Amino acid sequence: MGYEFDFDAIADNLGLLLHGAGVTLALTAVAAVCGIALSIAGAATSRWGAGWARSGVTAYVELIRNTPFIVQLFFIFFGLPSLGLRLGAVQAAVLAMTVNLTAYGIEIVRAGIEAVPAGQREAGLALGLRPFVVFFKIILPQALANIYPALVSQIIITMLESAVVSQIAVTDLTHVADFIQSRTYRAFETYFAITLVYLLMAVSLRWLFERAGRRLFTGRR
């Protein structure tokens, strides 16, 4: 084999890689929190909202789920300034990731809500609880317990897909790797290293969520 592996390029740039991994995790965290909150709101709207609001949610879900993430990102970053809305690269990235995660999240949460037997809601209402309380205290916890694994998967997919934000010069893990590669020409070593980092992040996130899930939802299923 003619190629000599040289991982010095990685060792020399470890700080950069850590920075990139940090950015990726931070973007994912913000998008996950906002995205899940919005997913719950969206799912509740599509279940019990007014007719026009339900159509709005459906249109949103269909629009986002049937267009590529990179196009959504470019539209927000390069397109919106023409309409007078200029977001920085990080803001645009968080917005695009949130918008994308929300579309998938709505469908997931809606499935969870629909799986909760109607009797649960009727019982709550019959006890004199207000609909608001019934939703947050009775339906939502059961709904989330139903679809928790799917939601976790979606968050991890969002993290992995966030590699695309390197295209608008956000210094996430992939952008850092591209940078190191363009300076050292060590393509194999660089991308091999970030493959491992992504894998490690995804596996540990899943493990963390699983543990948290066991705590959150014990006794509920």
- As a whole number of Å, the CA-based R_g of the chain is 21
Q: How far apart are CA 154 and CA 131, in angstroms?
A: 29
Work out how close the CB of 79 gets to other proteins at its nearest, in angstroms, rounded to a whole number.
Answer: 8
Q: How far apart are CA 218 and CA 167, in angstroms?
A: 42
- Percentages helix, strand, coil for the chain, rounded to the nearest 5? 85, 0, 15
207 binds other proteins (CB under 8 A): no
Q: Which of 97, 175, 186, 197 contacts other proteins by CB under 8 A?
A: 175
20 binds other proteins (CB under 8 A): no
Which residues, numbered 113-142, are part of the site for other proteins (CB under 8 A)? none
169 binds other proteins (CB under 8 A): yes
Work out how close the CB of 86 gets to other proteins at its nearest, in angstroms, rounded to a whole number.
Answer: 6
Q: Output 72 or 146, the one with its CB closest to other proteins.
A: 72
Beta-carbon contacts of 207 under 8 Å, excluding residues fewer than 6 positions away, are none
Which residues, numbered 22-61, are part of the site for other proteins (CB under 8 A)? none
**Other Cβ atoms within 10 Å of 175 Cβ, number:** 21
Which residues, numbered 58-87, are part of the site for other proteins (CB under 8 A)? 74, 77-79, 81-82, 86
Applying CB under 8 A, the span of 17-25, 57-65, 105-113, 173-181 interacting with other proteins comes to: 173-181
Q: Output 80 or 160, the one with its CB closest to other proteins.
A: 80
Query: For 85, which DSSP code?
Result: -
179 binds other proteins (CB under 8 A): yes
**Other Cβ atoms within 10 Å of 188 Cβ, number:** 12
Applying CB under 8 A, the span of 28-36, 45-53, 177-185, 193-201 interacting with other proteins comes to: 177-185
Alpha-carbon distances, residue 60 vs 65, 96, 106, 128 (angstroms): 8, 13, 10, 34
User: Helix (H, G, I), strand (E, B), or coil: what is residue 15?
Assistant: helix
Q: Which of 156, 154, 166, 155 is nearest to 23 (CA)?
A: 166
195 binds other proteins (CB under 8 A): no
Residue count, binding to other proteins (CB under 8 A): 17
Applying CB under 8 A, the span of 4-12, 23-31, 165-173, 206-214 interacting with other proteins comes to: 165-173
Q: How far apart are CA 176 and CA 179, in angstroms?
A: 5
User: Helix (H, G, I), strand (E, B), or coil: what is residue 116?
Assistant: coil
Q: Output 115 or 169, the one with its CB closest to other proteins.
A: 169
Which residue ranges make up the site for other proteins (CB under 8 A)? 74, 77-79, 81-82, 86, 89, 167-169, 175, 178-179, 181-183
